[in-house]
Structure 1
Amino acid sequence: MLTLQQFLGFLAAALLITATPGPDNLMVLGMGMSKGRRQGIAFGLGCAFGCLSHTLLAVVGVSALIAASPTAFTLLKIAGGLYLIWLGYNAWRSSGAVKVGAVKVADESLAKLFFKGCFANAINPKVVLFFLSFLPQFVVAGNGSVGAQVAQLGLTFTLQAALLFGLLGYFSGALGQWLNRRPKAGVILDRVAGTVFIGLGLKIMLTR
């Protein structure tokens, strides 16, 4: 089971990362602006629940790795730490400019938009790599089953993403207009998220 400290630390990082402007949440905003609140919410929930497929892959992969060799698990965390530092570096280099435009898609049912969001997220190789790098940083081998911890972390990420993306879809019109009036609004979020990425990466590199 996750400790309260593990859970709260992970939740804070996950909320910040999910809120940082990126392809998924900008697509949700664009969908809501062009098609309406319900469509934006449906697509956003699909994007969020697509994370469950990545959680499953992470559970299977990380569990198999630590069963084979605890040393290999440590190497995975170090490699993940380096990847997070690289993501943080790129976030600091980013211009942070945000422009939200309407998404031009044919009229589709809410169910179809939900599954389209799921599919778009599930097949994104960058999200797979991110999950394999991010989730293990919050795993404590001495706190019980590593697979169970990864599953709980992945479910936590999915649920908070569903909440944030649902809110993005609901308030898409107002948020999209606000961001378009402030194209540099993403700078602060990019810098803060970049700092979180680098901090997590350095933590695993400097602590054994």
Structure 2
Amino acid sequence: MTLSLWLALVGAQALISFTPGAGAVNTMSNALTVGFRRSMWGILGQQTALLVHIAVVAAGVGLLVAGSPVAFNIIRYAGAAYLVYLGIRKFLEPPVPAEQAATLYAEGAASMFRRGLWVNLLNPKAIVFFLAFIPQFIRPDQEFLGQYGVLAGTVVVIDVMVMWLFFAAAARSFSRFTSGPRGQRLLNRIFGSLFVAVGALLAFA
């Protein structure tokens, strides 16, 4: 991959990562719940899903999903339902007393990773998007494995930086509201509503 093509990839991926979506909502919710540093577990789950999407497209399976309305709709509605489920659960989540927070969140890493994985994995539009996005940066006259390696590494690094250093960091400005039960309840309802809204967009947009 030439330097000019790689710089175009960096710019395009940065723009994509900064576009708010389910991953951004999930990251901010995690940062508010368990803190800035521990929110990385959810981000790593989301990146694992991105790598799966890239591998699926590279293997050509993405063409099958994009060309099959039934397969696309099954994955789309499953993803939308999962986001709505997360939203309702977050909306109804009770405030956590400060003295219980450390105990409750000590075991949350695997849970956050799985949630981040499914949030991005159950998004067929990501596969369709990568089908349109990836070929622009792959040259058929060059070795494929190296090109896909550079592309995947660039996509993951940029998305991690944007999710953690922008969205998770931005959530810290709301942290003062989570010190009391009223603030926790309000933020739970805000992020619960956002999850439901993103799920509805995924299903009907």
Percent identity of equivalent pairs: 27
Specify which of 154, 157, 165 is matched with residue 156 of structure 1.
154
Alignment of 1:1-208 (within 5 A): 2-61=1-60, 103=90, 107=105, 108-142=107-141, 144-167=142-165, 168-174=167-173
Partners in 1 of 2:164 and 2:48 — Cα distance? 11
Q: Scaled by the length of structure 2, what TM-score is found?
A: 0.57
Structure 2 residue runs of 5 or longer lacking an equivalent are: 67-89, 94-103, 177-186, 188-205
Paired letter, 1:149? Q
Equivalent residue number for residue 84 of structure 1: none
Task: Give 1:10 shift.
Answer: 0.4
Q: What is the aligned-residue RMSD (CA, Å)?
A: 3.2
Q: Is the 8 A contact 1:31 1:43 kept in 2?
A: yes
Q: Is the 8 A contact 2:32 2:174 kept in 1?
A: no
Q: Is the 8 A contact 1:46 1:115 kept in 2?
A: yes
Q: Scaled by the length of structure 1, what TM-score is found?
A: 0.57
Other structure's SS at 1:152 match: helix
Q: Is the 8 A contact 1:47 1:117 kept in 2?
A: yes
Q: Is the 8 A contact 2:47 2:160 kept in 1?
A: yes
Task: Give 1:7 shift.
Answer: 0.8
Structure 1 residue runs of 5 or longer lacking an equivalent are: 66-75, 77-102, 181-208
